[in-house]
Each structure stands twice: as C-alpha cells, then as structure tokens.
Amino acid sequence: MSRILLDRRPVELKLRHPWTIARNSSRVKRNVLTRLEHGGVEGYGEAAPNPRYREDAASVLRALDIMEPLLGDDPARRDEILDRVEAALPGDPAARASIDIALHDWAGRQAGVPLYRLLGADPGKTPLTSMSIGIDDVAVMQQKVREAGDAPILKIKVGLKNDREIIEGIRRVTDRPLYVDVNEGWKDEAQAVETIGWMAGMGVVLVEQPLPAADLEGARRVRERVDLPIFADEAVLGPHDIPRLAGAFDGINVKLQKAGGLRAARRLIEAARGAGLKVMLGCMIETSIGITAAAHLSPVADLADLDGNLLVADDPFQGARVCEGRLILPDRPGIGILGEWPS
Ligand code: MG
C-alpha cells in the first residue's frame, strides 16, 4: 500500500472583535490546517494551538514533521496510528488533534457516512450551544450580546478588574441565562465565594475555572461554599487529571484541542462520567473544521460551547450550523465541511 500523504497549511484567522480573556488579548488566531490523502480519499483536520498549553503554530508544524513518518500506509488502522503519535508527542495535544480529526474525516468519507455515525452519536440529540462574549468595554460587550442574536445561553468572560460592572451591564441588555468563565483570573478564595454568590442572584447558572488550575484545594473549598455548579477547564487535559478533580468540581470542559482529538476526548468523557462529573464540550478559536468535528461528538455531552468559528471573521469553511442555539450537524460524509483548501 502507498503511504498516507500529509499536507499542512498555517492560517491566520481574523477575529470579528479583539478577543480578550483574563490571561491575554488577541486580534488574530494562528492555526494549522491538515489534509491527509490516501487511496483517492481526503481527510481534513485542524490544530488550534493555545499558548496556555505550551503550543503555537510553529510547535504544531514541528510536531507534524515528526508525526508524518509515523502515519504509515493505512488510515483505516486509526487506533494504531494514534497510539504511535501519542507515544511520540504526548505534549502536543493540538497537533495530535489535527491528525485525529483528519483520520476520522477520512474514515467517514471513505465509508460514505457522516462522522456522527462513526461515533455512534444521535444527530437529533445535540445540546444547545452557548455564545462566548470576550472581555471589552461594557458597551462593546453589550453590542456583542446583540450580535449573538438568538443564542439562548451566553458565556461571559471575566476575571480582570470590573467583573460586577460587566455582569450588571450584560443584564441591562438581556435576561438570558449566563455562564461565566473566569479563566483562572481570581486569586482569592473568599472573594471568589462572595462574587459567585452575588452572580447566582444575577442569573448566572454556571462558573468555569474561577481559580488557577493548580489550586485544587482552593477549588474544593470554594465549591463547598457556593450553590452554582463549578466547571474545570484549564485544570483538565486528560483522563489522568480526573481522579484529582472529583470533589473539587461539578463538571469539566472537554476540548478536542486540549485532549488531543476525538478519540482522546471520548476517553476523557468516559473518565469524567465514571467520576460523576458533568461534561461540557468546548473549543478554541477554530474554523468550521475543528468546530464541526466537535459538534459531531456533542450529542454525548451535557452542554456545548462550540462557537469558536463564529468568532472568526473569515472562516474558509462551512459545517455545523446553529439554529435557535441548537447545533445542526451536516449529513455529508465525514465531518461534512464545505470550502476550498486555502491556496
Ligand atoms: Mg474556559
């Protein structure tokens, strides 16, 4: 058999608004698209590296150079390939995700079935997805809420100075339920407890990663003293993190780019379920390749936050759509994206 061919393309995605969270701010997102080809069938993937996990576009390209000779000559032997890739590059989850997604897309296209069928997921059971509102002047955040249209749940980024002013400002323009994502921005437990208590009275229904990921004892004490569910994001990468998290959080945010792809995300979801944790399926800022791959897995999650493609001004692809907040999966083979490989 002939070798699997791997093409990769760095892309600079322009954002609709500058994207600010507690830890950083950006105007563009640099991702790497991957394309496998074997037997006349293609498979598309994407790496959306995050500096929080020590990756960027350059590290992804280096990792892909190492992965290429490990791919072998039969993409149908996906588990073997992913085992080799994982053993060689345990610390490069976004790069691994790009190969995992492309292999799943290839398998779906080769079999002529949508990815949700390969995953055994029911396309009628996709959860509602929230729409994320990055930190900005309150007036700009209010404008973003208006641009979010009929999104039934908003995920408000906080964790800098004026968290209460932000929530009060959002409440002046919408009465929809809010998730709040602190991105590790609060350092003081007592203040976290007090602010979460105040937020519960403001229609906030979930708080994500209030304290730094390493502070699990703090997370445990905060959770004991508040009524809102607390989700871990930065504190969880893979199944090995789960035993430490049980008791400190109510749920976890699973992202393909953090876990290392669909296979790794499914393993993480199983481990979370086993520990009694709820599962949100989240994302980075990604094109419709990465977001749609995750959307096919979303029927097995409790909550979804799959809006990364909607934050991009020039997404080269179309895939999953959102209708009244619900994810609609394409019926085409594989991930089912439309769009040209960027030249
Ligand atoms: Mg988060």
pLDDT digits (tens, 9 = 90+) for 128-138: 999 999 999 99
Query: Is the domain of 148 the same as that of 260?
Result: yes
CATH of the domain at 142: 3.20.20.120
User: Global pTM?
Assistant: 0.97
Query: Is the domain of 288 the same as that of 235?
Result: yes
pLDDT digits (tens, 9 = 90+) for 256-313: 999 999 999 999 999 999 999 999 999 999 999 999 999 999 999 999 999 999 999 9
Plot region of 336 (φ>0 → left; ψ -120 to 50 → alpha; else → beta): left
Asked if the structure places residue 305 within a domain, the reply is yes
Query: Is the domain of 163 the same as that of 309?
Result: yes
Asked if the structure places residue 342 within a domain, the reply is no
pLDDT category at 2 given cuts 50, 70, 90 is: very high
Range of the domain at 29: 5-112
Provide the pLDDT for residue 161: 87
- The yes-or-no verdict on residue 1 having pLDDT over 90 is no
138-147 and 163-171 are packed helices; what angle lies between their axes, rounded to 10 degrees? 40
- The yes-or-no verdict on residue 84 having pLDDT over 90 is yes
pLDDT category at 192 given cuts 50, 70, 90 is: very high
Query: Is the domain of 87 the same as that of 169?
Result: no
Q: From ligand 1's centre to the CA of 183, what distance in Å?
A: 6
Q: From ligand 1's centre to the CA of 209, what distance in Å?
A: 7
- The yes-or-no verdict on residue 224 having pLDDT over 90 is yes
Query: Is the domain of 217 the same as that of 180?
Result: yes
Q: Work out the average pLDDT over 332-336.
A: 98
Q: From ligand 1's centre to the CA of 103, what distance in Å?
A: 27
Are the beta carbons of 104 and 118 closer than 8 angstroms? yes
Q: Which residues are in the CB-under-5-Å shell of ion ligand 1?
A: 181, 208, 233
Q: From ligand 1's centre to the CA of 39, what distance in Å?
A: 39
Angle subtended at Cα 60 by Cα 56 and Cα 65, rounded to the nearest 5 degrees: 150
Asked if the structure places residue 268 within a domain, the reply is yes
Query: Is the domain of 16 the same as that of 58?
Result: yes
pLDDT digits (tens, 9 = 90+) for 146-182: 999 999 999 999 999 899 999 999 999 999 999 999 9
